[in-house]
Amino acid sequence: MILNQGVLTVQVGKVKIDHDGTINDVDLPKLTFNPDALVGFEDIPAFRSERPERPFSHGIFPEVGYSGGRLMSLTGHAFATNESELLGLRDLLASELNTGRLIPIKVTSYGSTRQVSGTLEGGLSWTRVLDNYASWKFDIFCPDPRLYGDWKYGRIYSSDLDREGLSYNVSYPINYSNTLEGQRNTILQNNGNSVAYPIYTLNADTEGFSIKSGTNVITYSGSTAKSTKLEINTYTGEVRYGRSDRSYLLTQRKWVTIPAYSQIEPELDFVASPELEGEIFLEVKYRDTWL
């Protein structure tokens, strides 16, 4: 992108880099973009068309996906009031880039925020031009090419709580076919252009359960306890029960994901109805997902 009038803010770890066309002594020291700003953020990743027939690990069945990563180049300027402040900007940026871990990067433009995670590719190029001014450039490689929104949260309650029967207080004429509804599930909506992969979490005493949406079904056939968290990650294909891997206890694994530009309202069914069924719910977290 070449910035002319656009407003762009990129959060690299704890460091904020922006472009708003203004530089004054009140803002200094400051990192800002040059017109090239951010290259590669809007590129489309390489596509993989093969579909493996076997899992390559317990619970992990790759779907048609994207095998290429995303390489982004960020270029800009550093302004300060003196040499010491300029060196401090360089040290701050270097400390966020050289962590040895994936760097969270948040890109905001015209109110829309999308996030990626990547590592420093090569190094940080920092060229001092004046005592109080330098130009810089660095590349970020993102193994996961998808772009994400902020985390969203929801709950799924037992579908067995909906009953047909006589509602109270009794009114006349008597209707024996009233639908007695339980608590309402959260509608999971993906505003992105790529499939979103929710994470389902349960803390309850059960003998197993199924998550259903249309023809997609995930069934966990093991028992669970309220004292231990069970987490089903539809992106990695793993099931974690406490600190152990229980992926082998998934007897049905047609992942309940959220298609692009769509919404779903999954149902929760128990293998055997537990006590206090009305108080048990699945927690869901997911993100709008783009390519």
| β-strand partners of 113 | 108
Sequential pLDDT tens for the chain (291 residues) = 556 656 788 889 889 888 765 565 567 788 988 888 889 888 888 776 555 555 555 555 555 556 678 899 999 999 998 999 999 999 999 999 988 889 999 998 877 899 999 999 988 999 999 988 999 999 999 988 899 999 999 998 887 655 444 445 555 565 555 444 556 788 899 999 989 999 999 998 888 899 998 889 999 998 888 889 999 998 888 899 988 889 888 888 888 999 999 999 998 888 766 666 777 889 999 999 998
Tokens of 199: 């994470």
Chain Cα centroid distance, residue 36? 27
CB 15 within 8 A of CB 140: no
Rounded to two decimals, the pTM is 0.77
pLDDT digits (tens, 9 = 90+) for 18-70: 876 556 556 778 898 888 888 988 888 877 655 555 555 555 555 555 667 88
CB-side exposure of 219: number of CA atoms within 13 Å?
Answer: 8
